[in-house]
Amino acid sequence: MAANSHSKAYAISTPPGSVYIVDEGDSTADCILIENGTILSVGNVEQIRKFWSDHNPSMSLKMFQTPPGSIIVPGLADAHGHILAWGTKERLPLEGCASIDDVLLKIKLYLLGHPDILHDHARWIIGMGWDQTKWPGGKFPTADDLDREPLLCGRLVLLTRVDGHACCVSNAVLSKLPKLPDTVYGGLIVRNKAGNPTGVFVDNAMDLIDRPAPTESETLENFNLAMHDALRVGLTSIHDADSSASDIAFFKRMADEGRLPIKIYLMGNVPSDDYWGPQIPRLINYGLHKRLTVRSVKLYADGALGSWGAALIAPYSDKPDTRGLLRTPPETLHRLVEQFYEDDFQVNIHAIGDRANEVVLDIFEDILNKPGADVNKWRPRVEHAQVIQRSDLERIGRLGVIASVQPTHATSDMNYAETRLGPHRVKGAYAYQTLLQASPGKRLPLGSDFPIEGINPLLGFYAAVTRRSPQGTSPHGPGGWFPAETLTRTQALKGMTSDTAYAAFSEDSLGRLAPGFAADFVVLDRDILRIPSKEILDTRVLATVVDGQVAYGSL
């Protein structure tokens, strides 16, 4: 039976101890009382009934009961995702392809199933998700590879790597480009032995490709798909980790029209080395349902490990001719961060390699040493915090800088990370338990980086607590990859609820099931904090509730 969307008050009960409050005492309860989208009380059924009758003696209380074995947790939050890109990737997803031939076959089948694109040679063919580390030989694809499929000859094709930090384009795209520069700061044009571009562009070099912007209808379609999929897997809050000025305008319009079904926290980004703060509006709990916030910016220090773009202090173990790419000169990054700090923007910086993390922490430390600087007021974040020197693992905690991490990156990368980094350096990579313990507030917000990874937060929960692939494997055996860095299930749940709320300045209203908090919660069909780990990924969402109203499923 679905809850009446117009009912202002109701209670929902579970089997004993199956409401996970996510507070400092790891408390549980049996029942929640909700009115006008806010939690009024939490306790057992008798306590809730008494509370209601004491305050509303003449009104009966609608009561819902979840099925046996089910639990209620706070609404799940993703601290790092890309909302509109999810829909773009889902049009032509290339993850799972085991070779370039698999990629070509998938594109061929896509075109045969979309005759409007097949027969319109002006249309770009855009896909995402290839990962050469899973292919024989581990080499990047090339434009010539794409031409091996007859349906692609002469077509405009752009295929983005799974990490979003490299792409491969067709010869038709290459022929449209103006004369390419010999070098690109923070980027790489991959060339063959004759010096000609192969079709692969890495990081900042990707900006040389004038790809078509999505139409308004495509943007709306991408948004609706992402919102549908988010609610289906229990997400009630997403931090969008790179929102252009036009993206922000789109989300603002959705908020004005009351079309945001979840809480959205945007990180503004403008690709410029000149200060662009005035282009980012400041919106706090904005819109018809007060679900949109813009108060932070996203900057980039480096690229990604899988495309050899993460900036390292020492050369790559498997590619000793490179140390990766700093996408922004350190002095430029420092100048931008300082200005954003002065203008009261939270600053969130992408940093994967140990060199990039060192540069970012140097900048944050310099600013936090200023008179009057308060890290709890500013809350700077390192997005990914993936490969870090031991000394910087200590420093990030000492400074109080927030490490925003994605557990599925560890399990996606674990089969090649040591090849890239070597046996010593890899020990400071994906060090989630170490980062959590270093944090003065014991906070570690968790995200997925979808569409680079799947949107289901339970994929991240499982990866965090097992350090194994969904098939149960790891390079270190069934105990998981570097098992000392696993999180407990309680820590992981906190990471995707209250810790993520803190990272968005929302810890007083989101991330817990407590009086005065928003009635954002999820009903799961089994207890992910107690079931065998192999069953976690079989868990289904029975209901996703936002501001007290059922947005997916039923009660």
Residue 5 clears pLDDT 70, i.e. is over it: no
**Digit-coded pLDDT (tens) for 19-45:** 999 999 999 999 999 999 999 999 999
Residue 465 clears pLDDT 90, i.e. is over it: yes
Mean pLDDT of 194-213: 95
Structure tokens at 100: 């370039």
Residue 484 clears pLDDT 90, i.e. is over it: yes
Q: Residue 58: what pLDDT?
A: 85
**Digit-coded pLDDT (tens) for 310-339:** 999 999 999 999 999 999 999 999 999 999
Residue closest to 201 by CA, chosen among 158, 243, 248, 168: 168
Structure tokens at 118: 């097949």
**Digit-coded pLDDT (tens) for 45-68:** 999 999 999 998 888 999 999 999
Q: Residue 4: what pLDDT?
A: 37
C-beta neighbour count of 176 within 10 angstroms: 12
Q: Residue 224: what pLDDT?
A: 97
- CA gap 265, 271 in Å, rounded: 19
Q: What is the DSSP string of 341-352?
A: HHTT-EEEEEE-
Please give the share of the chain, as a percent, with pLDDT higher than 90: 96
CATH topology of domain 81-208: Diaminopimelate Epimerase; Chain A, domain 1 (3.10.310)
Cβ pair 158, 177 in contact under 8 A: no
Range 217-511: architecture per CATH: Alpha-Beta Barrel (3.20)
- In DSSP terms, which residues pair with 402 in a beta bridge? 381
Q: Residue 512: what pLDDT?
A: 98
**Digit-coded pLDDT (tens) for 519-555:** 999 999 999 999 999 999 999 999 999 999 999 999 9
Pairing of strands 76-81, 125-130: unpaired
**Digit-coded pLDDT (tens) for 134-183:** 999 999 999 999 999 999 999 999 999 999 999 999 999 999 999 999 99
What interhelical angle do 390-399 and 354-368 show, nearest 10?
30
Residue 458 clears pLDDT 50, i.e. is over it: yes
**Digit-coded pLDDT (tens) for 353-411:** 999 999 999 999 999 999 999 999 999 999 999 999 999 999 999 999 999 999 999 99
pLDDT band at 8 (very low <50, low <70, confident <90, very high): confident
Structure tokens at 138: 């581990």
Cβ pair 66, 523 in contact under 8 A: yes
How far, in Å, are 118, 174, 253, 489 from residue 156 at the CA level?
Answer: 11, 9, 32, 46
Average of per-residue pLDDT values in the chain: 96
How far, in Å, are 69, 73, 317, 555 from residue 526 at the CA level?
Answer: 5, 11, 43, 15
Ranking 5-9, 37-41, 417-421 by mean pLDDT, the lowest is 5-9
- CA gap 158, 166 in Å, rounded: 10
Question: Within 13 A of 518's CA, how many CA atoms are on the CB side?
Answer: 27
Alpha helices in 158-209 (DSSP H): 171-176
- CA gap 18, 348 in Å, rounded: 35
Residue 8 buriedness (CB in 10 A; 0-12 / 13-18 / 19+): exposed
Mean pLDDT of 220-245: 98
Residue 6 clears pLDDT 90, i.e. is over it: no
Residue 307 clears pLDDT 50, i.e. is over it: yes
Superfamily of domain 1-75+512-555: Urease, subunit C, domain 1 (2.30.40.10)
Element (H, E) at 101: helix 100-113
Mean pLDDT of 94-114: 96
Ranking 77-86, 88-97, 192-201, 361-370 by mean pLDDT, the lowest is 88-97
Give the domain ranges of the chain: 1-75+512-555, 81-208, 217-511
Residue 7 clears pLDDT 70, i.e. is over it: no
Residue 3 clears pLDDT 60, i.e. is over it: no
How far, in Å, are 433, 460, 519, 526 from residue 532 at the CA level?
Answer: 21, 16, 29, 11
Residue 251 clears pLDDT 80, i.e. is over it: yes
pLDDT band at 2 (very low <50, low <70, confident <90, very high): very low
